[in-house]
């Protein structure tokens, strides 16, 4: 018989293998997640990571826009980072009240600004604190599932020691970026280590769901990796960052130039509406290459769109280009 707490754990009800869009700082914000969802979308969505210290400070309201979502993104998980267990308890309680389906603890980010706080990948070096943080998060989360995203080690692969220290805390899901902190994303992902971790989980009859992450090139590649390495799900980062249509399975070359530019305009309007008075419009530029590539005069058009100060100017430039075609 399934108890109420198990029913709340959506991870257990997902059809395997499932696909997840990785939380990427300043990339997977609300507007971009909505754009990806309109093109097909993943089975599970993650927010950008948000500071637990920030959410427990007087400046909380300035961070709440990072936790904006719509029901069409469900199941959706809020990812957070920090190093103070008490703030994880408070944050988990807030995340639950906001209606999220789960909360994920970032224990893999290699950014210096994050690690200086003892957070992200720095927690690999302090396993006792990592365990305390998981316990504190569970306390605030109640029946909402708590998951962890981490790497296979810090300076070297220490997964045989590090991962069991996490599994003993029984996270609902565990995402493994198959590289060390030192490697960042500079070397091929070590999927053989994912396979070893899968064997450990299965041999221990753990209910923790395993998600593999690293170098996923396509939907077919994701399903193949899940099968070969024993992952229940696959998380996609850079592949989805550069291709809003990734989860639809549609080849980028199947998307017409007009479709690309109309989607960019839709993205720009939503970005402007969402972040008015919060972020400057030019921050949208980092997404241009995802839409404007692999067609004639793409570079010339990107340069022209760089001049746009708002969505209206962007639309003018796009319409001018389309009329010239």
> Is 109 annotated in the active site?
yes
E strands, the chain, in order: 18-21, 44-51, 76-81, 102-107, 146-153, 173-180, 209-213, 233-236
Q: How far is CA 314 from CA 14, 38, 241, 262, 282, in A?
A: 40, 21, 21, 11, 11
* CA–CA separation, 23 and 48 (whole Å): 5
CA separation for the pair 179, 187 (Å, rounded): 8
The span from the CA of 250 to the CA of 259, in Å, is: 13
Say how far apart CA 130 and CA 127 lie, in whole Å. Answer: 5
Residues 6+ apart with CB under 8 A from 293: none
Q: How far is CA 90 from CA 84, 169, 203, in A?
A: 10, 19, 34
Of the listed 109, 123, 219, 301, which one is catalytic?
Answer: 109
C-beta of residue 100 within 8 angstroms of C-beta of residue 77: yes
Q: Which residues are catalytic?
A: 109
């Amino acid at each position: 018989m399934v108890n109420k707490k198990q029913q709340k754990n959506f991870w257990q009800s997902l059809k395997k293998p499932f696909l997840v869009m990785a939380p990427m700082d300043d990339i997977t914000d609300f507007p971009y997640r909505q754009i990806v969802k309109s093109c097909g979308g993943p089975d599970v969505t993650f927010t950008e990571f948000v500071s637990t210290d920030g959410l427990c400070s007087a400046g909380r309201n300035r961070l709440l826009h990072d936790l904006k979502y719509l029901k069409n993104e469900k199941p959706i998980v809020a990812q957070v980072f920090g190093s103070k267990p008490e703030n994880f308890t408070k944050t988990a309680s807030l995340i639950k009240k906001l209606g999220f389906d789960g909360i994920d603890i970032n224990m893999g980010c290699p950014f210096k600004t994050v690690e200086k706080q003892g957070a992200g990948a720095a927690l690999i070096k302090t396993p006792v604190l990592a365990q305390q943080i998981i316990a504190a998060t569970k306390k605030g989360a109640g029946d909402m599932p708590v998951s962890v995203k981490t790497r296979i080690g810090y300076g070297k692969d220490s997964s045989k020691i590090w991962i069991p220290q996490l599994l003993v805390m029984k996270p609902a899901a565990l995402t493994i970026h198959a590289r060390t902190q030192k490697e960042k994303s500079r070397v091929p992902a070590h999927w053989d280590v994912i396979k070893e971790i899968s064997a450990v989980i299965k041999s221990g009859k753990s209910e923790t769901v395993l998600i593999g992450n690293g170098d996923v090139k396509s939907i077919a590649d994701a399903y193949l990796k899940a099968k070969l390495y024993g992952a229940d799900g696959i998380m996609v980062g850079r592949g989805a960052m550069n291709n809003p249509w990734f989860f639809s399975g549609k080849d980028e070359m199947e998307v017409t130039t007009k479709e690309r530019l109309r989607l960019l305009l839709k993205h720009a309007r939503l970005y402007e509406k969402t972040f008015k008075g919060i972020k400057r419009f030019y921050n949208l530029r980092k997404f241009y290459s995802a839409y404007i590539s692999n067609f004639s005069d793409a570079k010339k058009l990107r340069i022209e769109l760089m001049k746009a100060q708002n969505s209206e100017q962007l639309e003018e430039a796009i319409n001018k280009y389309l009329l010239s075609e």
